[in-house]
A = this chain, B = another copy of it.
Amino acid sequence: MASTSRTPEVAGLLERFARGDRRALARALTWIENQQPGFEQLLHATHSGLGRAFRVGVTGPPGAGKSTLTEKFALLCRRHDQKVGILAVDPSSPFTGGALLGDRIRMQDLTLDEGAFIRSMASRGRLGGLATTSLEAADLLEAFGFDVVIHETVGVGQTERDIVSAADTTVVVLVPESGDAVQTMKAGLMEIADVFVVNKADRPGAENLERALTTTLGLKPHDGRDWAPPIVRTVAVEGKGIEELAAAIDAHRSHCYESGASTAKQRARSADRVRDLVARRVDAHVWEWGGGEEILERALDRIRDGDATPYSVADEIVAAVGLDSRSARPGTEQEERG
């Protein structure tokens, strides 16, 4: 089914979605989460609704207080009459999951608010599915009409970093105890941070952490960008520093618009999405429809017995699904056929 085609079911859901039916939004998010047939048609059809919301990524180690901070920031947005959608992505396995879900329960003030929407997503299988699915869910919230879309996740893996780094502004939340970890995280969280939050800043070590951050950032220019990530101290549970955080996010937002970074980021985001979608389709083509899985399964014994190698088997699979690399070079039959 091409992305542009619409079944009656898709059309019906779209109609309710366009009317602002929150249950239709919830249903559509489930479609995306399960990659249910028709979900790409939904996303294609709602794509024209993008480009209006501001996206904030919130990440940091477990226990940093991301959920509380996200809630307080969301409540502040609501006081300014901005509609807020929140997506929490739990990177842990189904067996250890539930931590973020539990945090959701605390967001009582938001769950009863028509101008807010909260959704937790569990991680899915391999093959880069999680990052794309999660970004597609954010698209849907944006298309539904939320002014601010917040993506919250534990910053432990590449997938989670991919998710938050797709935001317009990425907030990295640390706690005084993170001091030792700053060196470790340098290569990871550091390069995606647009704003640092030192949460639980009333605890000992807040100043040390701030100094460690300043030193680290001072030593290494921030990716050649002309934005120096500010450090905001908060005590989220008491609502302290939330206005300052909002101001820092706003400053980064203005900076991005003025420097043209927003446009460039939007373009890069589109390109990344296309690449992810192509990979998803090609993957399904090779492994589900093309028979790659059966060839691989039969070949494993031959590899074990020394009658084949992963290299010759990869050749076989690529040829079997009609992708023999030689036939795709310009000027050959594959090129002319298209």
Which of A25-33, A113-121, A326-334 sits within the interface? Answer: A326-334
| Given A177-B180, A220-B96, residue A312 in contact with residue B44 (CB < 8 A) | yes
Interface residues of A in 54-83 (CB under 8 A from B): 61-63
Interface residues of A in 163-199 (CB under 8 A from B): 177-178, 180-181, 183-188
Per assembly, the copies of the chain total 2
Q: Judge if A261 is at the interface, Cβ distance under 8 Å.
A: no
Nearest CB of B to A240, in Å: 23
What residues of chain B lie closer than 8 Å to A309, measured between beta carbons?
3, 43-44, 47-48
Contact indicator A323/B266 (Cβ below 8 Å): no
Q: Judge if A251 is at the interface, Cβ distance under 8 Å.
A: no
Q: Judge if A271 is at the interface, Cβ distance under 8 Å.
A: yes
Contact indicator A322/B337 (Cβ below 8 Å): yes
A309-321 Cβ-contact flags toward B at 8 Å (1 or 0): 1111111011111
| Given A271-B300, A311-B44, residue A181 in contact with residue B183 (CB < 8 A) | no
Nearest B-chain residue to A93, judged by Cβ: B187
Which of A9-17, A101-109, A275-283 sits within the interface? Answer: A275-283
Q: Judge if A35 is at the interface, Cβ distance under 8 Å.
A: no
| Given A62-B183, A188-B156, A322-B328, residue A310 in contact with residue B4 (CB < 8 A) | no
Q: Judge if A304 is at the interface, Cβ distance under 8 Å.
A: yes
